[in-house]
Each structure stands twice: as structure tokens, then as C-alpha cells.
Amino acid sequence: MSTFLAASRSGRRVGLPALVTASVLAALATTVPAASARAPGPPVGGECGGQEQTRRAVRLLTERDGIPGAAVLVNDPATDGRCGRWTEAAGTADLRTGRPMNSADRLRAGSVTKTFTAALVLQLVAERRLSLDEPVERRLPGLIQGHAHGYDGGQITVRQLLQHTSGLPDYLEAPEWEDYEQLRYRRFEPRELVRRALELPPPQDAWHYATTNYLVLGLLVREVTGRSPEAEIDRRFIKPLGLHDTYWPGDDPRVQGPHSRSYFVDGDGRRVDGTDWNMTFAGAGGALVSSPGDLTRFAGALLGGRLLPAAQLAEMQRTVEADPDRVWPGARYGLGLISTPLSCGGTWWGHAGTVPGGHRALVAVGPGGRSAAVALNTVPDSLPAELDFLDVVDKSLCGGRSSERNSA
């Protein structure tokens, strides 16, 4: 899922289907996240490229921004020996027991799930079982037809669903999601959520982040393959790549296996444990449970060209301008992938995700194939916290590269 259902600028809880919390949108729209100007400290034993800078960035999230626990895993196939893979963590994974945060724990991946679903759709395109430019109506007749707001499945393509240019609203913008805690343990079906979205007026902007798009894609996958998108992702990606921490929770609100707890602030300003949540409301757009290690393995395989032919991977990386109020400045959106410039030059590719209970994940692959996955157990709720979160990614991927760029 996305970062949504956060405190608004007035303090009222709102349904916000975006990747950045409502309280930081206005400031982020005019502030470009860049590497901090903090003075570097002395190297620490075992230092790998950027590890000390990343360590400081992770600690800021817990020591300054009030995030209970933060962790990052970095994997660099361009190095050998001990620097190929390293982790940093700070804070607490479980406030009740005091267990320290670590990068091996499972968490809810939220909208990082969209990249899995998009990769599945592109595999079907490569197999010529789907076309990016075919209309939804061809496979799902009547699903997006005959509604008061004039939505027409004959005019919406698979490509538009993948890149959030379909013109469909997000069901999470419906009024009932303002009181989302009341829906915490309810089971939802994809068609039910799509129908609810179609009752809403169309978005005003050409690019509009909406998980509705990915629920429709999940229905398309089922129609084309005869299997659920969950079963296909499990068969094509999770099992072959050995993603042992990644699974679909289905109707079970618990997270299985070792995991960090997650926390959100309720309407009375109290910190609440939000780990248990029925994720059927997110489905193919945000329900996966995973771990930083699994996310970097998947993203590395995808961006490394091991899951898709070159033509389909290139399609995923054809981007359109994204609304900075719904992602972050400088970001562009492809087909289930976000691109973001790095302070040291080049671009990272990946996706971020957040669930209402408080977990936030981000996976990114930078130049040279270095990947990073960040895990938080509370959503940043201020501009400094949001910038610090993005800075962890930048520090993790830019370490050891800044001096090369500056001397070029």
C-alpha cells in the first residue's frame, strides 16, 4: 500500500493514497531531498562504501524523528568479500519487549507489491498473452462501464493502469476510509473495491496514484492465466528466487515468522500497535509481507534483467512525470517502478510502500547494481523525518561514489 490515512495538516485523519504523509506534502513540494550537509565522522571499523554515513542517517530517524525502529540492508554485487552486503539498524522492533530493530525481520511491504505485480504483467506481455496497449474491456467486459461518472474500460489500457494514468480514482479516497481503524479486520474482495472506486468522481490530474489500478491488473491476470495474481507471483518470483520471507497473508491479520511490530498514532494522539491488519483491502497492490533481504534480491533480479526480456524491462523504465505531492520531488513513474535522482549522479529505481498499521518499506537499485532496502515501523510524520528517510536511501547508494563524481 501507499502512505495513506495519516494526520492531515489540520490534525484530522484523512484517507491519503499517496507515498508521502499528508503532513509533509506541502513542504516536500518545494523541497528537493538531497544529501545532508553533515560533517563526516571518523571511519568505523568494518567501514564499507558509505556505511558510516548510512549509520548516521539511520540513527537520525530514531534519535531525532521519533521512529521507534529503522533498518537498512545494502547489497553491492560490484564489491567482493565483506563489503558485498551490510546492514545498519537503530531503535526498537518491539516496544513492549525492547527487542532491537534488525534488517532480517519481516514487515509489510505495502506498495512495493506493485512492482511484483507489474513484473508479472510484463512477463505475460513478453509471452504475448497480454498487450500493454489493449483496453481493459477486452478481457474484463463490463467491469468499468455504465457508471455515473462515465468511466469507460474501452478507453483504459493495461499500460495506463500500470503507470497510474488510467483516470481511475482510488477507492481509498472514499469517505469510509477516513475512519480506517473500523475496517482493520474486515475482509475485502477486489471487485468490491473497484466498484467503490467507480462511485467516486474522476481525479483532476492526468497522473493519479491509485491502488485501484493494480486491483484491476490483478483481475486481468486471473482472467488471462486462470490463476490468482498471488499464485502467479508465488510461482514465477517468490519460489524461484528463494524469497523465503515473502508471502501473501491472505485473510490472516497477523504477520507470520520473526517480524518487527508496527505503530501508528490514533485520533487521540496515542501510539497504537498496528501490526495485525487484514490486508485483503490491498491485494495485488499492497498485501505482500517480505523482508529487506528478499526485497533487494527481487529488485536486483528485476533490474539486473533476470526476470524480463530487455524490451519489457525497458517498457517498465519508460516514465511519466509524477505528482510530487503524491510521491516526492524529482520522482518519475514507470510501469510499477519509481525513478529518483541520486545526489552523486545517476538514478535509483524501485518503489516505496506503507500500510496503515505503520510499516514502511522502500527498495531501490542504483547505478552499478547496488541495492538498498529500508524498513521502518512507524510512518514519518514530518518534513525532516521524510527527508531523513529518503536520505538513508541516498547515503546507502551513493557511498563511495560522491568523490568519483566530484573529481570527474
Q: Which residues are catalytic?
A: 111
**Would you say 192 and 92 are in contact if contact means Cβ atoms under 8 Å apart?**
no
Give 365's strand partners.
Answer: 349, 371
Q: CA 263, CA 266: separation in Å to the nearest integer?
A: 9
- Contacts of residue 351, defined as CB under 8 A and 6 or more positions apart, other chains included, come to 111, 112, 114, 115, 336, 337, 338, 362, 363
Closest by CA position to 233, among listed 249, 221, 219, 215: 221
**Would you say 112 and 291 are in contact if contact means Cβ atoms under 8 Å apart?**
no
**Would you say 65 and 379 are in contact if contact means Cβ atoms under 8 Å apart?**
no
Q: CA 354, CA 19: separation in Å to the nearest integer?
A: 7
Closest by CA position to 343, among listed 396, 384, 296, 295: 396
Amino acid of residue 317: Q
The SS3 of residue 332 is strand
Q: CA 364, CA 323: separation in Å to the nearest integer?
A: 19
Q: CA 193, CA 198: separation in Å to the nearest integer?
A: 9
